[in-house]
Structures are given as structure tokens and as C-alpha cells.
Amino acid sequence: MRIGIAGAGYVGLSTGVAFASMGHDVTVVDIDRAKIDRLAAGHAPFYEPELDELLSRALQKRTIRFTDRLAQTAREVDLVFIAVGTPAKEDGEADLSALWAVAGALGRSGAAPKTAVIKSTVPVGTGDLVEERLRSLSRAPWRVVSNPEFLREGSALRDFFHPDRIIVGASPPEAAAGLRQLYSGIDAPFLVMPRRAAEMVKYASNAFLAAKISFINQIGDLCERTGVDVTQVSLAMGLDARIGEAFLRAGLGWGGSCFPKDTAALIRQFEQQGIEPSILRAVSDVNRSRRRRFLELARSCLGGFRSARIALWGASFKPGTDDLREAPSLEIIERLLQEGAEVRVCDPAAGEKIAAAFDVETAADPLAAADGADAVLLATEWDLFLQVDLAELKARMRRPLLIDGRNAFDPGRVRRHGIAYAALGRPGP
């Protein structure tokens, strides 16, 4: 099929490259000319496993092209995906300005009536409004379908080809036919439901996962006080098939480009409907409190940060990405610096971005970061840190202390090496 994708960001580009590698004819559109030129030359603007190879193969086979001409693309394709960003505004509400710009351009494009597929995460009911706008601008019976994405950074392409489910919100259901054909090579349950239900599924899924993390984090607070190790509780809870082990790792909590903005946008939707989102507020508050509690723990272990030498291991919001959006490390670095610590950061992907944003040293090697340090603070559980030689770590540090923000280390092993250990949700040092 011939498809257009508006938005060459994380979701649009990963989706476009994936469809192209399935043999569909894909045109990716973006308003950023420089980005388009770099993509046409085979350079992706962010790192994602497999993306570079699949992009260069699709360019060679000419199954993908890049342009800034949305109206022309709309006239040439069978389906247009909308995959532009919907960031949070000050009050948490999703900012739909990019989506409206695309809808306006599609409506005025003169393209024969087609199907627009919304991949961007949008408040429930947005599909109805976009359909109205397209129909009023074009005076043609455009259809709008919702097809939320569940791609995780660091495994976006794997998630695309092996999804748990494909959700299509189509009212009427016949509007899902094009998507059924498009995804026919992918083996996964294909659920067609009313458009608003599909929009809700995306928010509810992300909020549920965020809630699972905040839940175990709150249990972790009680564990810490009562001498219980939260990781043992997670393990045992996760073996209950009704609960499941995923997203039960206690620690610094969630960040990234999706959970924070989607939780905030969902809270706004509740407020707009006059329903108190008590669970979601607690989910969000518990998550915010992680960073504060982690700093308190470190402060109490060190007796204050003034003149302390701190090695911060990990900065990206999770391993496998250089994405710093809403990463707990940002707040941690800021507070450490404000309170007079000397900070050296090691992150295998986000080091350069950190060096540009803060007055800190960076080190490529975790041991070099820990040289002469009073404490190592683990903020992101990259494998690189978990493989560090602990005897060597102890020898390098001025004061051997590891504060584990992700419950990623075995406390017994760390302590056996003569390194003091503290973590959120585990009995004290």
C-alpha cells in the first residue's frame, strides 16, 4: 500500500521505516527541512536499535522517501498517518497544535477523500474533531481512524514487528479495512473498536503501567522502614499470574517522553469531565517523591553534600536510550550542585547532553567517574554499571558507598566487597 506519515519524530520514523521494510511504499513528511535532508541521506536523528540498517535498506530499495510536502503526499497515497508530537502544556493538557496544523493541511490538500490514521496520543474525542475538520475543509467524506502506538524506546522496531496487540479505533468498523491490510504480515490480535475506545486504551495502558511502578514504590517505602527488601516482595508478587513481574521494579520511578505527559493529560481529561482522578494523582505524586527520597537517603548517608564528590552512574531516563526527557537524573544533578557537591557523571549514551546542560565533569568509564568519590549514585541501570569490578571500585573510591536508585545490585555482594550500600525500598546500610 502507499502510505504517508506526517511527523518524522520517534513514532513516525520508526513506524515509517517498519512499514517500508514490510514492502509498503512509504513517504515520511516533516516540516523540518534539515531533518528531511539528513534522513534522505540515511541519517536518523536519534538512536534506536535496528533503525539505521532498516532505514538504509529501505532507501536502497526505494520503499521510503522523505519530503516536506504534505499536501502533495496526501494526494498520492492511500492512507495518511498522523504521528506528530502532542507534548504537555503547562497545565498538563496535551498540546494539539501540531496535530491541527497537519489536519488543516490535509483538509486543504485537495486529496480525494481518504483515511487519516491518528498514531499520536490524543485526548479521547480528538478523532471526532479531526474528522469534522477534515470534512469541513475538504467537503469530502474523509475518515479518521485511531491506531495508538505502544512502542518502547530502545525496542521500538522489535515492538512494532512483535506487538502484544494492534488496536484500531474505527467508527464505522469498515473504516479499519485499510489498516487490516497494512498490518496483515504481523501476527498479533487485531482489535477493532469504536474510535474513542481506542484513544482511551492508550492512556489507560500507560497510566496502568505507571501505577504499577508507583504502587511498588510506595510498598517499598514501608519495606524500608520495616526491614524488608522490596525486590523479594516484587519477585514473589510477580509470580502471581494475575499480577505479573513486569513494571514492578522499585526505585527512582518513571520518566521519559510518554508516561509523565500521558499521565498529566489523562488527569486533565478527568478534571474536564468533573471526575476526581484520585488514583492518578497519587501515582504521579509517589513518582515525584522518589527523587526527593533518593536525595534524602544520599544526604543522610553522606551527612550532607557540601564538598562531597559524587559519581552519578546513568543519566538517561532508562537504559538503552540517550533520552533525557523527564529523567530523574536531571533533578538529582541540579540538587547536588545546588547543595555544593562536585558531580562526575557517566552515561554510555547521554554523557554529551549532560555535559552541555550542567556544570559537571563526565567520564566514559564508570570507574573513572568513581575515582576519589565519596559515593556512587546509580540513577539508570545500564549493564555497564552492573558489570563493574567491585574490588576495583572500592580501591578507587575515597569513601566506598553505593546508593542504588534502581535496586539493580545485590546488596550482599556489594557489602562483601567492603562497600556500604543503601537503596530505596531496602533495609538501611
DSSP annotation string for 64-129 = EEEES-HHHHHHH-SEEEE-----B-TTS-B--HHHHHHHHHHHTS-PPS-EEEE-S---TTHHHH
d(CA 114, CA 96): 21
195 contributes a contact to ligand UDX by CB under 6 A:
no
Residue with smaller CB distance to ligand UDX, 131 or 229:
229
d(CA 256, CA 14): 17
Of the candidate residues 142, 254, 313, 385, the single one contacting ligand UDX (CB under 6 A): 254
Contact string (CB under 6 A) for ligand UDX, positions 59-78, x = contact:
--------------------
Count of residues of this chain found to bind ligand UDX when the rule CB under 6 A is applied = 21
d(CA 333, CA 322): 16
In which element (H, E) is residue 289 found?
helix 278-302
170 contributes a contact to ligand UDX by CB under 6 A:
no
249 contributes a contact to ligand UDX by CB under 6 A:
yes
382 contributes a contact to ligand UDX by CB under 6 A:
no
Residue 215: partners with Cβ closer than 8 Å, 6 or more residues away: none
131 contributes a contact to ligand UDX by CB under 6 A:
no
- Told to judge if 258 belongs to the known catalytic residues of this protein, a careful annotator would answer yes
Residue 73 CB, nearest approach to ligand UDX (Å): 25
385 contributes a contact to ligand UDX by CB under 6 A:
no
| Only segment of 98-106, 255-263, 268-276, 387-395 that touches ligand UDX (CB under 6 A) | 255-263
d(CA 332, CA 245): 28
160 contributes a contact to ligand UDX by CB under 6 A:
no
CB 324 within 8 A of CB 353: yes
Of the candidate residues 318, 344, 396, 426, the single one contacting ligand UDX (CB under 6 A): 318
Give the pairing of strands 190-193 and 375-378: unpaired
Residue 312 CB, nearest approach to ligand UDX (Å): 15
What is the Cα gyration radius of the chain? 24
404 contributes a contact to ligand UDX by CB under 6 A:
no
Residue with smaller CB distance to ligand UDX, 362 or 380:
380
Q: Which three cell numbers stand for residue 220?
A: 517499598
d(CA 161, CA 9): 19
Residue 348 CB, nearest approach to ligand UDX (Å): 15
Q: Active-site residues: which are they? A: 258
What does the binding site for ligand UDX look like in residue numbers (CB under 6 A)? 149-153, 206, 209, 213, 247-249, 251, 253-259, 317-318
